[in-house]
Amino acid sequence: MNHYPMWKNLLVLSVLLIGFIFAMPNLFPSDYAVQLSSSGRGGKVDLELVSKVEADLKAAGLEYRRVELEQDRLMVRFADDATQLKAKTLLSKELDDDFVVALNLAADTPDWLRGLGAEPMNLGLDLRGGVHFLMEVDMAAAEKKSLDSYGADLRTLLRAEKIRYKKISAGDKDISIIFKDAMQRDAAIALIDKSSEYDTLLAAVDETATVPTLALKLTETAIREIRSLALQQNIITLRNRINELGVAEPTVQQQGDSRIVVQLPGVQDTAEAKKILGATATLEFRLVDFEHDVADALNGRVPAGSELYKRRGGGEALLKKRVMLTGDHVIDATSTLHQENGSPVVSVTLDGKGARKFSEITGKNVNKPMAVLFIESKSELRTVNGVEKRVRREVSEVISVATINEQLSKRFIITGLAATEANDLALLLRAGALAAPMDIVEERTVGPSLGKENIAKGFKSVMIGFALVLVFMVLWYRVFGMVANLALAANLVLVVALLSLLQATLTLPGIAGIVLTVGMAVDANVLIFERIREELRIGNSPQASISAGYDKAFSTIADANITTLIAAVVLFGFGTGTIKGFAVTLSLGILTSMFTAIIGTRAVVNLIYGKKTRPELSI
C-alpha cells in the first residue's frame, strides 16, 4: 500500500541530485573583476593584450588574483572592489578606444561544474549595486518629427505638380496647407489620395478657415507605429551608448508604451552615466578620394579638399571634405537581402530634404565609391593646469565603403557588406541619434556596500524563517515533522537550482518570494499530517491512515497551490521589474514545493514505515 516502485524512488533521487548540482555554483563567492572586450574598432583580445594588462597592473602596484583569456574577452580578477575600481580607471586610461573596459562580478565556479552548464544565478541591482534610471520618451516630439518630414515632402510634391499654395506649416498634431483657391485645394486632395506614400495621413477640409485650407492628420495606426519605432530606436541607441560606460550585463528594457528602464550594475557616478546616455552620435556620407594615394596621405601629404580617416577593422580611407549627407536625414535603416542575388544589403530611408539633396549629388557621381563616416562625441575628464575639467572630443571612423551604382533618392540600399557588417551598419544608422527626446523620471543609486548589506539581510531572513519552521514542525509532528523539514531543505535547493538554470535575476523582492515559499511549502505537509491524524483517530490502521492522508489531501493542496500560482502568473504578466522578481521566485517555489511536499515526503515516509505491518507512527 505504501511502497513506491523503484523507478519513482530513482526519479526523486535524480531530481534532487540534479538540483544540488545546479545549485552548487551559488556556494562559490564571485570575484571582483575587470572585463575587457573588443569595441569593434580593431582591438584584438589576445596574448599580447594579456601581457600589456599584466605589465600595467604590476607597474601601478595593483595586486590581482589571475588573468583569464576567454574567447572574445579578458577577465582580470581582484580580491576587493577598491582594487577593482582602481584597475578599471588605470586600464581605461592605458588602453585606447579599441577596447571596452567594464566592471563585473565573475563567478568562481569550478571547471567541472561549468562543463555541465551549471552557472550561478544573476544578482539584481539592489543586491549588486549600481544605478537605475527610468526614462520617458517624448512621444509628442516623435510625432512632430514625422509631421515635419511629411511637410517637407509635401512642399516638393506640390511644387512638382505645379499646385499653387500660400503656406505649409507642420504643427504638433497636424499639417496645415493654405491654398490660393478651392480648385488648387481639391487638386491637392486628389493628388495626396492617389499617392501611396501618404496613406498614413488623413486629409480633411478646414471649414472654419476663411481661406481654402487643408488639414492633414496622422492615422491612429501611423501614430502607434511611430511611437513603437521611436521607443525601439531609443532602446537600441541607449544600448549602443552604454558600451561607452564600460558596464557588464546592463539592463535596457521597455516598460509600458513610453518608458525605458536602464540599470547599470557597478556604476556609481550617476552624472557620468547621464552624460553618456545623452551623448550625440552622427553619420556623414562622403565621396572617397580615389584620385590620390592613401600612402602619400599617411606620410603627411594630404591633398587639399580631402581628409584621412581610420577604417573600422583596420586601415585608412581618404575622403572628400564635402559632406554629401548627414545621418540626421536617416529615418530608418534595416538589414535585408538583395532581391536579385541574395547578398546582404542595408536598406536606408531618408526624409524629404535629405532625399532631394542625395538624389542630386549621387546623380553626378554614379560608379564612384561612397563612404559612411561615423562620428561620435565623447565626454571625458582631463587635467588642465592642475584642474580637472570635462571636455568633449569627436571620434570619427569609416564604417562602410560602397560604390554608387545609380542615382539615389529617398530609399536606397548599401551593398558590398558581409552579413554581420550589414547588421552592424543598420544598427549604427538607426542608433546614431535618439528618435525622440527622453526625460529621466526616476533615478536611484545603490552602493556596493548597501548591496552586500541587502544580501546579508536577505540571507538572514531566509535562514531565520527556515529555522523557525524547522523547530515548529519537529515539535508538533515529530518524525513526520523531520521528514517535512528534509523536504523543505530540498525545496530551497530546487528553487535556487531553477533560478540558476534559467539564469534568472535574484532581487530583494525575489528573496521575499523565497521566504514566503518557505512558509507555504509546509502547508501541504500540515494538511497531509493532520489528515493522517484524523484517520488514526477514527480507528484506521497506520498504513491505511498514511495512504488516506496523502490521497485525500491532494485535491485540497492542488487547489490552494494552483490559485496561488495563477496570482503569481498575473503578477508576472502585469507587474514590472521588482514585482516580476517576486512573481518568478514565488511561481518556482510553488512548483517545487508540490513535488517535494507530496512526492518527496511520501518517498521518505514509505522508506521508514512502508515495510512495517503495524508501525507505531510518530506524528
> Residue 176 belongs to what H/E stretch?
strand 174-179
Please report, as a single letter, which amino acid is at residue 437: P
Which of the listed CATH numbers 3.30.390, 3.40.109, 3.10.50, 3.30.1360 matches domain 140-223? 3.30.1360
Whether 392 shows a pLDDT value over 60: the answer reads no
Q: State the cell numbers at 257.
A: 508604451
Percent of the chain predicted with pLDDT > 70: 87
**pLDDT value of residue 102:** 75
Q: State the cell numbers at 278.
A: 545623452
Whether 190 shows a pLDDT value over 70: the answer reads yes
Q: State the cell numbers at 613.
A: 505491518
Count CB-CB contacts under 10 A for residue 451.
22
Whether 245 shows a pLDDT value over 60: the answer reads no
Strands (E), 306-433: 306-310, 316-326, 330-337, 344-350, 369-384, 387-403, 411-414
Name the pTM for this structure.
0.59
**pLDDT value of residue 17:** 92
Numbered ranges of CATH 3.30.1360.200 in the chain: 280-433
> What is the C-alpha to C-alpha distance for residues 408 and 386, in angstroms, rounded to an integer?
52
| Listed range (32-41, 379-388, 450-459, 465-474) with the worst mean pLDDT | 379-388
> What is the C-alpha to C-alpha distance for residues 96 and 99, in angstroms, rounded to an integer?
6
CATH architecture type of domain 31-106: 2-Layer Sandwich (3.30)
> What is the C-alpha to C-alpha distance for residues 529 and 64, in angstroms, rounded to an integer?
55
Burial of 182-199, coded b for 16+ CB within 10 Å and e otherwise, reads eebbebbbebbeeeeebe
**pLDDT value of residue 377:** 55
Q: What is the mean pLDDT of residues 63-84?
A: 85
The answer to whether residues 494 and 113 touch, using CB atoms and an 8 Å cutoff, is no
**pLDDT value of residue 232:** 86
Q: State the cell numbers at 191.
A: 493628388
Name the pLDDT band for 251 (thresholds 50, 70, 90).
confident
Numbered ranges of CATH 3.30.70.260 in the chain: 31-106
- How buried is residue 532: exposed, middle or buried, by Cβ count under 10 Å (0-12/13-18/19+)? buried
Name the pLDDT band for 334 (thresholds 50, 70, 90).
confident
Q: What is the mean pLDDT of residues 263-269?
A: 70
**pLDDT value of residue 519:** 75
Q: What is the mean pLDDT of residues 402-415?
A: 81
The span from the first CA to the last CA of the chain, in angstroms, equals: 19
Q: What is the mean pLDDT of residues 265-278?
A: 63
**pLDDT value of residue 469:** 82
**432-442 per-position pLDDT tens digit:** 566 777 777 88
For the domain covering 280-433, report its CATH number: 3.30.1360.200
Name the pLDDT band for 272 (thresholds 50, 70, 90).
low
**CA 412 to each of CA 333, 336, 344, 485: distance values in angstroms, whole numbers, following the listed order:** 10, 12, 14, 68
Name the pLDDT band for 318 (thresholds 50, 70, 90).
very high
Phi, psi angles (nearest 5°) of residue 396: -120, 140
Q: Say which DSSP state 132 is in.
A: E
Count CB-CB contacts under 10 A for residue 123.
20
Name the pLDDT band for 21 (thresholds 50, 70, 90).
very high
Average pLDDT, the chain: 81
- Which range is most confident: 40-44, 444-448, 603-607? 603-607
Helix, strand or coil, per DSSP, at residue 228? helix
Nearest Cα neighbor of 182 from 224, 225, 211, 141 is 211
Q: State the cell numbers at 200.
A: 498614413
> Residue 592 belongs to what H/E stretch?
helix 577-594
Whether domain 6-25+447-609 has CATH 3.40.50.410: the reply is no
For residue 581, give every residue at least 6 positions away whose Cβ sits within 8 Å of its Cβ, in sequence order, or none: 124, 505, 506, 507, 508, 509, 510, 513
